A and B are shown apart, each in its own frame.
Chain A
Amino acid sequence: MEGFLEFFMANRGIIYMVILSIFLGIEVISHVPAILHTPLMSGANAIHGVVIIGAIIVMGHAETTGAMILGFLAVVLGTLNVVGGFVVTDRMLEMFKKKK
């Protein structure tokens, strides 16, 4: 129990931020027209590719060969998520632009 309380105290600023971010996410999305559901989902998909930062950090401090291999894999997968996500979203939205 103490472990959690300590964690809470050490991170209370972050916990505030998380709670506000939750409401922000809901607010930002709730007025989206159905036509943009797919591109929005795809764009959000690209944004959670931010996990690549974590991959870079572990990779950057990896010491053993095993950790290097896993870290390398994590960075490749994270990049796939980011690049693929943004490019696909752009491709979808490109088509919307051409309406008369």
Chain B
Amino acid sequence: MNDVFQFSAGISVLEITYIVASVFFILGLKMLSHPLTARRGNIIAAIGMILAIAATILFHQKDGAPIGNIGWIIGAMIIGTAIGWIIAVKVKMTAMPQLVSFFNGMGGAAAALISMMEFPHISSELIARTGMANGHVLAILLGLVIGSVSWAGSMIAFGKLDGWIGDLRVKAMKYVNVTILVVIIAFIVYIMTRDVQASSELTPLILILFAVAVAYGVLFVMPIGGADMPVVISLLNSFTGVAAAMGGFLYNNQAMLTGGILVGSAGTILTILMCRAMNRSLLNVIVGVFGGGGAAAATEGGTVKEITVSDAAVLLSYSKKVVIVPGYGLAVAQAQHICHELDKLLDEKGVEVRYAIHPVAGRMPGHMNVLMAEADVPYEQLVESDEVNPDLPNTDVIVVIGANDVVNPAAEDDPSSPIYGMPIVKARDAKNIIVMKRGMGKGYAAIANMLFYNDKTRMLFGDAKSTLQALVTEVKAL
């Protein structure tokens, strides 16, 4: 790490390329946060990445030796590119959140692998001088722990969003998790205070540390459910950023440092913004088991009234203002296109249709924006919940499609409810409420929704896609 500076043209080109790449990353992120420049921003960041990778292969030197095994490296990159490209292009839009989580996990795993391979090669001269307690060792260990947690956590998040891993909600979980965290820290201290000649003597300990970190990643994400899932993905995203930055410390590599730290800090801010949208603290999300196991369910009462498709069609066609609240149910049923067809039909009949987009509806922040944009719904029709709420008393019909927790009045009425305080779309203020749902099941947060028992509410049971299809046919026939 403390290489004596030696000028060489290759190294200078490498360092200059890293600076350019860092600027591209920053510009890319900046442009990604404005709708008009977002796509170009993504491409700019990608170009920065290609430059950094190419320069590393061509010019990187370690103790004067250039990068070897180039055939294998290119081979691995071709495999990775092929798989990554195919998955990214083939996967349905609704599965996007899982996919981001999956790719995030891959990055975390790569960071963990790097640390694992570097650990046995810590310079014995450095160890002789300072023992194991030095910044280099710390960077390796943190890279390993954070990368492993990010990998394991992302895979669990991926499995949960994909529906093949359920929630595990045990009260004791938080104590278990805090204990594991303490164990990890103690383990790092233990490794760093060992008196050894070469770090390779401690390799078994590293493997144990890896296993404990993986267990932590799994157990950390397991109990988290409901609206908290997006927050966790965002948090794990910033974890991987930090893990990548640790690699930057290790190799004194500026591109890895800027890229990693940028994502680490931007990801953390995004996570906090998302927590704020739900009126929960980050600590609450990490340590707290969501809803304390759903014990605080409001008493369900009253009767549920159904509405037929043709009645709903009439009600919608003769309204002046309609607001649609899309939720995860709409995404799962792939009903975004048919939903847009319905709003166009209503628009032709002179009905003003808008979409109330709750920031955490679906399984990711802005998930519904992406989904409705895919169906070509114009940008102006997508309104954020804060903006639509004041206008709801003048709204004739609000149609809730596959959304649940984001319209649950318990967030305003019931201080014992786990979602109490979360901003919602105040659906009950509208003159009529139609709720499209597959059945009387609870939302992702597993709490009862009194909105369904409201006098103004009519339920329209069935799969979102086929119900909307039937509605479109009925509206056309009118």
Taking Cβ atoms with an 8 Å cutoff, the residues of A that contact B are 1-4, 6-8, 10-11, 14, 17-18, 21-26, 28-62, 67-68, 70-100
Do A56 and B366 have beta carbons less than 8 Å apart?
no
Does B56 lie within 8 Å of A53, measured CB to CB? yes
Q: Contacting B110 at CB < 8 Å: which of A23, A43, A81?
A: A81
Given A17-B257, A39-B366, A80-B103; 4 other pairs, CB 8 A cutoff: A21-B265, A22-B261, A53-B255, A81-B110
A55:B110 contact, CB within 8 angstroms: yes
* Residues A38 and B370 in contact in the complex (CB < 8 Å), given A48-B240, A60-B60: yes
Given A21-B262, A31-B33, A62-B117, A53:B52 Cβ within 8 A: yes
16 A–B contacts from the bound complex (CB under 8 Å): A3-B132, A3-B137, A17-B254, A29-B29, A34-B365, A37-B270, A44-B241, A46-B42, A47-B263, A48-B243, A50-B255, A54-B256, A56-B67, A60-B69, A72-B76, A81-B107
Known: A18-B261, A67-B117, A100-B378. Is A4-B135 also a contact (CB below 8 A)? yes
A37 touching B247, Cβ below 8 Å: no
Give chain B nearest CB distance to A47 CB in angstroms. Answer: 5
Q: Name B372's closest neighbour in chain A (CB-CB).
A: A95
- Which of B103, B137, B250 has most A Cβ within 10 Å? B103
Q: Which residue of A lies closest to B103 (CB)?
A: A84
- In the assembled complex, the Cα of A82 lies from the Cα of B244 at a distance in Å of 13
Measured in the bound complex, the distance between the Cα atoms of B402 and A24 in whole Å is 38
- Contact across chains for A57 and B251 when beta carbons are under 8 A apart: yes
Q: Report if A34-B110 is in contact (Cβ < 8 Å); known contacts: A49-B49, A56-B56.
A: no
Count of B interface residues, CB-CB < 8 Å: 124
Question: By the criterion CB–CB under 8 Å, are A60 and B255 in contact?
Answer: no
Q: Say yes or no: B263 contacts A56, CB within 8 Å.
A: no
Partner pick for B251 among A54, A67, A86, CB 8 A cutoff: A54
Which of chain A's residues have a CB closer than 8 A to the CB of B67?
A: 56-57, 60-61
User: Do A78 and B110 touch (CB < 8 A)?
Assistant: yes
CB neighbours (8 Å) of B254 from chain A are: 14, 17
Contact A84 B131 (CB under 8 A): no
- Whole-angstrom distance between the Cβ of B373 and the nearest chain A Cβ: 4
Whether B88 lies near A88 (C-beta < 8 A) is: yes
Min distance, Cβ B453 to any Cβ of chain A, angstroms: 30
B473 contacts A by Cβ under 8 Å: no
Binds A, one of B79-87, B166-174, B306-314, B317-325: B79-87
Q: A79-B81, A80-B103 are in contact. Are A38 and B366 (CB under 8 A)?
A: yes
9 pairs of A and B residues whose beta carbons are closest in the complex: A7-B135, A79-B80, A3-B134, A25-B265, A60-B67, A3-B130, A50-B259, A83-B84, A37-B365
Least CB separation from A99: chain B residue: B379
CB nearest to B245 among chain A residues: A18
